[in-house]
């Protein structure tokens, strides 16, 4: 076919170039409106967080203006962030992963073993991430190639892996006394200008993942697969491979999270990661990622994690007894879901 045979596709209703391109130029009337439309779920989550913090401030101004409160939240929050963000990918892909607490425990166990054996903690981190990758691949393959429901299969894997840890360790923990002198600790778990350094790594991870989600082929395919797997398949996307990849991503995130949690405490417990299951899941949905797949927000999920972390600290610091924590957790989740439902339409 010669160039001369090219179709004269310029003629139909729209004129080829010139004025038509101007009409098509901008996503919205102005950049601010476009920005708000593109990020309405994340902005909604931010709104919830600000209102909640304002309520805490009013309830107890003295506690909420002390740095110590924020410092303690900033130490533990990164652990949650490293799993909340990959879970946004999983939920967007139309799946769920409940096995990450056990993956956190398993990967950090490998880290503890390597460090205890006298190797450099960097090697331990590498081994932990490798473990997380393999476990993520295992869980993902089981769900995708086994054709199992991810809700049930990952719940099963969570029990199975945790059981393995408990059987082998018989409930004993591992103390890592030499860790605080290592380079790895200084880089990943110390403080700079009084700020826990973990939060910088977590922020870097969130930014990288947000780019991966919005500006990378992986994110684009995850969204399409979650939106309409049949169409994705018809357009030549390897749907199964994309699904396995999101589970691998969770495995990696869980491994980093587990390692960070061990470095905070200098001790590995056989229950490491267990407490994160519900707060992390809540963070994803409080953050504005809907349950039905296809869309989501990484930044929203991160803000959701911040919100959830502050509920517990905030309720206690505001002078209420610990018995109120669960009640407020539930309240925030329900209010957020109602807000997001009103905030975003579902297209079919």
Q: Does the footprint of another protein cover residue 34 (CB under 8 A)?
A: yes
102/257 Cα distance (integer angstroms): 12
Among 145, 149, 172, 216, binds another protein (CB under 8 A): 216
Is the CB of residue 103 less than 8 Å from the CB of residue 133?
no
Verify binding: residue 300, another protein, rule CB under 8 A.
no
* Per-residue binding letters, 236-265, with another protein (x by CB under 8 A): xxx---------------------------
Pick the closest to residue 106 from 160, 175, 144, 177 (CA basis): 160
Among 42-50, 189-197, 224-232, 273-281, the segment contacting another protein (CB under 8 A): 224-232
Query: Taking CB under 8 A as the criterion, which residues in 303-342 touch another protein?
Result: none
Q: Does 75 bind another protein (CB under 8 A)?
A: no
Residue from the set 26, 33, 241, 341 that interacts with another protein by CB under 8 A: 26
Q: How many CA atoms lie within 13 A of 74 on its CB side?
A: 18
Q: What is the nearest approach in angstroms of another protein to the Cβ of residue 150?
A: 20
Q: Give the DSSP H/E element, type plus range, for residue 339.
A: helix 324-343
Q: Other CB atoms closer than 10 Å to residue 307's CB: what's the count?
A: 24
232 interacts with another protein by CB under 8 A: yes
Q: Among the candidate windows 52-60, 234-242, 269-277, 308-316, which touches another protein by CB under 8 A?
A: 234-242
Please tell me whether residue 218 binds another protein under the rule CB under 8 A: yes
The answer to the question of residue 9 lying near another protein (CB under 8 A) is: yes
Q: In this structure, what token pair is assigned to residue 342?
A: 């009103």
List, in order, residues 6 or more apart from 130 with CB less than 8 Å away.
none
Q: Report how far apart the first and last C-alpha atoms of the chain are (Å, whole number).
A: 40
128 within 8 A of 258, measured Cβ to Cβ: yes
Contact status: 215 vs another protein (CB under 8 A)? yes
- Mention every residue, 6+ apart, whose C-beta is less than 8 A from residue 95: 143, 150, 243, 246, 247, 293
Q: Number of residues interacting with another protein: please give it, by CB under 8 A.
A: 46
Which stretches of the chain bind another protein, using CB under 8 A?
A: 1, 5-10, 12-16, 20-21, 23-24, 26-28, 34, 211, 215-218, 220-221, 223-224, 227-228, 230-238, 294-295, 345-348
């Amino acid at each position: 076919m010669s160039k001369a045979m090219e179709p004269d596709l310029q003629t139909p209703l729209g004129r080829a170039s010139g004025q038509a391109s101007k009409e098509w130029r901008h996503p919205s009337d102005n950049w601010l409106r476009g920005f708000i439309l593109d990020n309405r779920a994340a902005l909604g989550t931010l709104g919830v967080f600000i209102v909640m913090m304002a309520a805490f401030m009013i309830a107890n101004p003295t506690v909420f203006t002390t740095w110590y409160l924020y410092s303690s939240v900033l130490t533990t929050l990164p652990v949650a962030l490293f799993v909340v963000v990959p879970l946004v990918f999983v939920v967007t892909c139309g799946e769920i992963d409940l096995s990450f607490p056990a993956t956190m425990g398993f990967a950090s166990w490998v880290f503890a073993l390597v460090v205890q054996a006298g190797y450099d903690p960097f090697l331990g981190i590498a081994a932990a991430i490798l473990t997380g990758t393999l476990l993520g691949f295992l869980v993902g393959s089981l769900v995708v190639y086994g054709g199992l429901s991810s809700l049930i299969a990952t719940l099963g894997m969570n029990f199975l892996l945790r059981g393995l840890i408990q059987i082998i360790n018989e409930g004993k923990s591992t103390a890592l006394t030499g860790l605080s002198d290592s380079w790895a600790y200084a880089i990943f778990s110390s403080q700079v200008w009084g700020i826990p350094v973990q939060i910088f790594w977590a922020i870097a991870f969130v930014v990288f993942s947000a780019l991966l989600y919005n500006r990378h082929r992986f994110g684009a395919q995850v969204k399409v697969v979650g939106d309409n797997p049949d169409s994705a398949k018809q357009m030549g996307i390897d749907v199964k491979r994309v699904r396995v990849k999101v589970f691998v991503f969770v495995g990696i995130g869980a491994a980093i999270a587990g390692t960070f949690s061990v470095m905070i405490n200098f001790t590995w417990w056989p229950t490491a990661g267990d407490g994160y299951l519900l707060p992390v899941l809540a963070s994803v949905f409080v953050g504005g990622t809907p349950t039905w797949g296809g869309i989501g927000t990484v930044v929203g999920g991160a803000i959701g994690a911040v919100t959830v972390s502050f509920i517990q600290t905030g309720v206690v610091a505001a002078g209420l007894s610990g018995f109120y924590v669960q009640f407020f957790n539930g309240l925030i989740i329900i209010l957020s879901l109602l807000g997001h439902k009103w905030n975003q339409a579902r297209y079919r």
